[in-house]
Structure 1
Amino acid sequence: MSKLFSTKHDSNNLDIATLLLRVFPAGFMLSHGYPKFMKVLEGNFEFGDPLGLGPAASLILAAFAEFICSLLVILGLGTRLAVIPLIITMLTAAFIAHGDDPFGRKELSLLYLVVFVVLFLTGSGRFSVDSALASKRR
């Protein structure tokens, strides 16, 4: 019972928590990014233009963030850099693409946003490619 109320941090538990926080949300984000990535590969650039960059540029940036960067986050490879496009994409989704929508339409993008900000602050954790590469350098 005392462990449930303890404020001490178990390093192993934090690394497992970081792994779960990386793999599952980024894996779920792939379901948003994969169709966009396939549209880019097929040359179909019909897409919204929330930032005024043009539909093709907006689609390419969204596909890069939601598919490529999500894969990097899952692997824990360049995690802090990989979440930056995801953070920007979720900010765009929540406050521009769904800016006038009710909270329920923004909720998922805000949830992803918080997860990606936390990963930016914590890094990828011990169970990641980043950690393996850092261990080799030592």
Structure 2
Amino acid sequence: MNTLTQNKIQTNIQFLVTKKVANSNGFLHPHVLFDKIQLVATYPIREFYTHEVPAIVDYTFKMTKSARLHDKLTIQAQLIQQHDKKLIVRILVTKPKKKAGTEEVICSAVFGFPLKEKPIRKVS
């Protein structure tokens, strides 16, 4: 097993909850959020593949809070481990807490992608 210990590859994406992705009560549809984080999970690992990123082989998804209309979410995707056969990406979705000035976790997920090809090595 090979673990990434140097520079962890991370991506931060902003996502605004609009009427198009919210229900009639103003809450974000969970399937929309899941689809978005599934796409964002591929961002930090694209350099490991010469073609398209393969389908997810396993995942865990936990939604702890609801997002509402006009919430500005931050989706953080980070490559946390590289195994011989799999890349592991952790996702954390947060929104600012207005009164406390901190971030509130909306959901978290971990995705596993098969490492079918050998990683592309960058020449320094």
* Greater RCO (Cα-Cα under 8 Å, separation 6 or more): 2
TM-score by length of 2: 0.27
Which structure features the higher share of strand residues? 2
TM-score by length of 1: 0.25
Which structure features the higher share of helix residues? 1
